[in-house]
């Protein structure tokens, strides 16, 4: 599912994280690591937000050789999402539907489950951090992803939304979607086994 080959991310001369070779099979992964260990950097690399050395491929698609196909199947929800204040949640959902080839039904369902419907028509500049977080989760599930990365999905969410998110993850996993979740809080699924990943000594290890 997710393959790293000679992956390395540096800031200046400092290596943040390096993964010589690693292949992860489909599943739900819980990525742990201390603050500043490089979790977000790794997730941003996989989602194509920042440049890196080496190769990363998801389900056989390499971002360097086929960006469009790659970003069509790899979704990402940020830890602390920021959106341009002039857009409404609906504007963003429509835009994601258009680019990720999602249908209105899926968008409506996700917005309903995560409780975004009530405020989606307001400009994102008026959102609280929890509201922006829920919108980012809706956007993270849109389309036909094969791999979804959720960076600290539980922070700022109310209890009801946390439960809804757990159910969504299980539902999407059952449909063949893999997940990479970073969280400092414990992640519990009733009927789903998670594999723990740890960033240790600037590399990624399966625990």
Give the residues lining the site for other proteins (CB under 8 A): 47-51, 64, 67-72, 74-76, 78, 81-87, 91, 94-96, 99-100, 139
Q: Nearest Cα to 43, choosing from 54, 31, 57?
A: 31
Give the β-pairing of 178-182 and 147-151.
Answer: parallel
Q: How far is the CB of 149 from other proteins (least distance, A)?
A: 9
> Which residue lies nearer to other proteins by CB, 87 or 162?
87
Q: How far is the CB of 172 from other proteins (least distance, A)?
A: 17
> Which residue lies nearer to other proteins by CB, 117 or 194?
117
Q: How far is the CB of 94 from other proteins (least distance, A)?
A: 8
> Which residue lies nearer to other proteins by CB, 166 or 172?
172
Q: Could you tell me if 75 and 142 are in contact, meaning their C-beta atoms sit under 8 angstroms apart?
A: yes
> Which residue lies nearer to other proteins by CB, 108 or 200?
108
Give the separation between CA 183 and CA 64, rounded to whole angstroms.
28
Q: How far is the CB of 138 from other proteins (least distance, A)?
A: 13
Q: How far is the CB of 190 from other proteins (least distance, A)?
A: 30
Q: How far is the CB of 112 from other proteins (least distance, A)?
A: 22
> Which residue lies nearer to other proteins by CB, 70 or 179?
70
> Which residue lies nearer to other proteins by CB, 28 or 73?
73
């Amino acid at each position: 599912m997710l393959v790293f080959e000679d992956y390395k991310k540096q800031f200046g001369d400092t290596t943040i994280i390096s993964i010589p070779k690693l292949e992860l099979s489909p599943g739900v992964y819980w990525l742990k690591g201390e603050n500043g260990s490089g979790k977000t950097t790794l997730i941003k690399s996989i989602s194509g937000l920042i440049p890196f050395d080496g190769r990363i491929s998801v389900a056989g698609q390499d971002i360097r050789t086929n960006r469009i196909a790659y970003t069509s199947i790899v979704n990402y929800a940020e830890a602390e999402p920021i959106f341009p204040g002039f857009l409404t949640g609906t504007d963003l959902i429509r835009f994601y539907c258009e680019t990720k080839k999602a249908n209105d039904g899926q968008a409506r369902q996700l917005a309903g489950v995560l409780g975004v419907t009530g405020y989606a028509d307001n400009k994102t500049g008026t959102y609280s951090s929890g509201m922006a977080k829920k919108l980012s989760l809706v956007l993270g599930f849109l389309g036909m992803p094969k791999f979804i990365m959720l960076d600290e999905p539980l922070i700022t969410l109310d209890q009801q939304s946390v439960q809804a998110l757990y159910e969504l993850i299980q539902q999407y996993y059952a449909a063949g979607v893999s997940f990479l979740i970073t969280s400092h809080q414990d992640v519990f699924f009733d009927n789903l086994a998670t594999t723990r990943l740890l960033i240790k000594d600037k590399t990624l290890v399966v625990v």
